[in-house]
Structure 1
Amino acid sequence: MHTLAQLRAGELSGITRLDLSGGLTEFPREIFDLADTLEVLNLSGNALDRLPDDLHRLTRLRVLFCSDNLFTELPACLGRCTALTMIGFKANRIDDVPGAALPPLLRWLILTDNCIETLPSELGERPHLQKLMLSGNRLQTLPSSLSHCLRLELIRVAANRLTELPHWLLTLPSLTWLAYAGNPLETEADAAALEATPRIDWAALRLEKQLGEGASGVISRAQWQRGDGVSVPVAVKLYKGQMTSDGSPLHEMNACITAGRHPNLIRVEGRIVDHPDGQQGLVMQLIDPSYRNLAGLPSLASCSRDVYADDLRLNTGVALRIAKGIASAAGHLHAQGITHGDLYGHNILVNDQGDCLLGDFGAASFHATADSPQSRALQRLEVRAFGVLLGELLARIDAGFSVERRVALEELERRCCQADVLGRPGFSEISEVLEGL
């Protein structure tokens, strides 16, 4: 994090990224002194409610973050920033998004947790749009012009007021990751599954150390004193209350429970009751430390694509084992009326043998289990996510892979990613193909 004093003293000359947080109420004009080099500007966590009309003087600016401020309108000056591709205004008070505020090269727009009721038709006139984060607003409809955004791959519209998913949305050729939980349109979670989940008293748990923290909650290693007197090592996830980019953490918890048991899903032991602060949480299987994330999160540059270690190589058996496990897990979820919504390498834990677990249900949504064109389309969006994953695995398989097997997998990848959504195979067929290899 940089300081205003450093900026004013000229100590930051030549930098490409500037991070300023600390109660700013006005845009520091000294930022314009960095115009020749500044590409990423992060002004999150301040008290700003406007930006200067001449912001376009920052001619190299590609990325702007202004989350956790006091904006009530997306500033129109953004539209004149010709190099700007990524905009983040999460957790403000925005209720107005003028079409003029959308820059021509817009690729990634984050407006999570605001007060937006409508979006301008100009949003569909941004051909480079790839990621759109709108969870936690008051949207009742989406502009039909978005049907022209043929590169749109990820959209989050959880926790809004949508009463239906528009037909055109489910026909977008590139749409791959969709989250819509917490809208009136969503099918309810399986009440019987939620009710049947064992209750585990907070007093029976002893936290040991924190294992990780994400947008939706904190995971810790713990000891669970079961009713039979046996102490079992487990993982405890305590959910946060605030809105995440994917949606509500409590919807995530319900999806984890409703998913049920599968060898490639992290097992839920029960839900926590009687937490002293009323926090919601789950007790889950403790994952062996030999497991690691298959990939890293997408970067500002990769946008919707995971970042893999440069030296990651997989043998044929490991890659196929991962592909089979994830296809099986996704097929199981679809049978329960759940789309994962975030089927990515960074949400997959693997070990050296190719054993794998699909985690992070933050973007999961419920749909009807009865077969229909809509439920099939929702499932086939996830098939495209699997196709992307399959391509990433193929790119990292060691030499020696038989030509016939590679051709078969490349053909499966092509079918999973084809533009015709309903023309893609379902996960039962995908699993059959993989088993045949």
Structure 2
Amino acid sequence: MQTLEQLRAGALQGATRLQLRGGLTDFPREIFDLADTLEILDLTGNALCALPDDLPRLHKLRILFCSNNRFTELPAMLGRMPALTMVGFRANRITSVPATALPPALRWLVLTDNQIAHLPDALGRRPALQKLMLAGNRLRALPDTMAELHQLELLRLSANAFEALPDWLPTLPRLAWLACAGNPWGAGRAQAMRAAPAAAIGWQQLTLHEQLGEGASGMIFRADWRHSAGQDKGSTPVAVKLYKSDMTSDGSPLNEMAACVAAGRHPNLIPVLGRVTGHPEQAHGLVMALLDPGFVNLAGPPSFASCTRDVYDDGKRLDWPAMLAIAHGVAAAAAQLHQRGIVHGDLYAHNILHDAAGRCVLSDFGAAAFYDPAAPLSAPLQRLEVRAFGLLLEELLALSAPPAALRAGLAALQAACVAPDVTARPLFGTVVTRLHALRQDAIDRPR
């Protein structure tokens, strides 16, 4: 992070990226001294409520972050910035999104945690749009023009006021990651928690140790769980996830808790042992089984450049039996979720933990949503997630070298999962059956 003093002293000449914090109430005009080089501008965490009308002078700017400020309107001049592809205004006070505020090359728009009740028709006329984050607003509908967003792959609608999802939404040919919990249309988390209650584990029974990880919704710690307070009956090593109370890019952390519990036991899901009670700061939390330290993330999350696709370590490879075990395990876990009326919403390699032998678990339920399996929307929602699996399978195939017959069978399944016609995609029950048959055939085939 740079400082305003460095900027004013001319020490940042030639910078392509600028990040300024420190309670700014006005846009520093010295930023225009970087107009010929600046590509990424991050003004998150200040007290700004406006940007200058001549901001388009930053003619090379591709990415703009102004989250956690005091904007009440998405600035109109952004639409006059042809190079701008990513715009982030999370956690402001925005009520108005003018049509003129949408850059023509817009690819990634973040308006999470604002007060937006209406979006302009122009949003559906941004053909490059791939990623749209709208959780935590006051939306009841989306513009029908969005049915033309044929490049849209990730959409976050959680914690709004939708009585129903648009009929055209499940027909978008590339949509794969949809978060829509916390709206009146879906099954409620309270109902789901009643159907699958979790044991109460008192905070005083837990001893936390080092932090194991952190996501948008909370932090995970290694811990010891004493099974009976006040008695020496030993303890069990566990993982404890403590949730943040604020809105995340995916929606409410409380919905994630409910989905984790309702998902049930499965070899490819992390077992939930109970929920934390009696936290001194009233934080919500879950106690989960502690994974073997040999488990690692299959990939890293998307980058600015990849937008919706995960980033793998250079040189990462998988033996084909491990690759096939991961594919089968993830599909089987997703099939159970769908049987229980849950869509994961974020079926990505970066949310899969695996070891060298191909053991794996699907984690991070931050984008999960409950739905009625008997409702007409059920199958279309499931098939959106099947596309996400198809993209994952494509990546797994690129990491491995299976025998020719197995590769051909997996490639055919992968193509079916990402078919542009959503209704032509198989459901996860069929995917699991086909993977099992391919796996058995590969094992039985003479080498």
TM-score normalised by length of structure 1: 0.98
Counterpart amino acid of residue 380 in structure 2: A
**1:273 paired residue among 277, 289, 306:** 277
* 1:294 is aligned to 2:295: no
Which range moved further: 187-196 or 336-345?
187-196
| Per-residue Cα deviation, 1:143-163 (whole angstroms, up to 9, x for no partner) | 111001000000001000010
* 1:324 is aligned to 2:328: yes
User: In structure 2, what is the equivalent of residue 53 of structure 1?
Assistant: 53
| Per-residue Cα deviation, 1:137-196 (whole angstroms, up to 9, x for no partner) | 000111111001000000001000010001101110011000010000111244465563
Report if aligned partners of 1:116, 1:137 keep a CA contact under 8 Å in 2: yes
Matches within 5 A, 1:23-422: 23-189=23-189, 190-191=191-192, 193=194, 196-227=197-228, 229-370=233-374, 372-398=375-401, 401-422=402-423
User: In structure 1, what is the equivalent of residue 443 of structure 2?
Assistant: none
Report if aligned partners of 2:124, 2:149 keep a CA contact under 8 Å in 1: yes
* Deviation >6 Å, runs of 4+: none
Report if aligned partners of 2:197, 2:261 keep a CA contact under 8 Å in 1: no
| Per-residue Cα deviation, 1:193-228 (whole angstroms, up to 9, x for no partner) | 556311111111111111112211111111000138
Q: Percent identity?
A: 59
User: In structure 2, what is the equivalent of residue 430 of structure 1?
Assistant: 431
Counterpart amino acid of residue 321 in structure 1: A
Whole-angstrom distance in 1 between the partners of 2:268 and 2:288: 14
Whole-angstrom distance in 1 between the partners of 2:59 and 2:197: 58
User: In structure 1, what is the equivalent of residue 20 of structure 2?
Assistant: 20
| Per-residue Cα deviation, 1:12-50 (whole angstroms, up to 9, x for no partner) | 111111000111111111111111111100000000010
Whole-angstrom distance in 2 between the partners of 1:254 and 1:191: 7
Cα deviation for residue 119 of structure 1 reads 0.3
Cα deviation for residue 278 of structure 1 reads 1.2
User: In structure 1, what is the equivalent of residue 442 of structure 2?
Assistant: none
Whole-angstrom distance in 2 between the partners of 1:335 and 1:193: 17
Counterpart amino acid of residue 37 in structure 2: T
Ranges in structure 2 where 5+ consecutive residues have no aligned partner: 439-447
SS of 1:211 mapped into structure 2: strand
Report if aligned partners of 2:193, 2:258 keep a CA contact under 8 Å in 1: no
TM-score normalised by length of structure 2: 0.96
SS of 2:299 mapped into structure 1: coil
Let me know the Cα RMSD of the aligned residues: 1.1
Whole-angstrom distance in 2 between the partners of 1:293 and 1:146: 34
Cα deviation for residue 274 of structure 1 reads 1.4
Q: How many residues matched?
A: 434
Counterpart amino acid of residue 435 in structure 1: H
SS of 1:234 mapped into structure 2: strand
* 1:3 is aligned to 2:6: no
Whole-angstrom distance in 2 between the partners of 1:248 and 1:191: 15
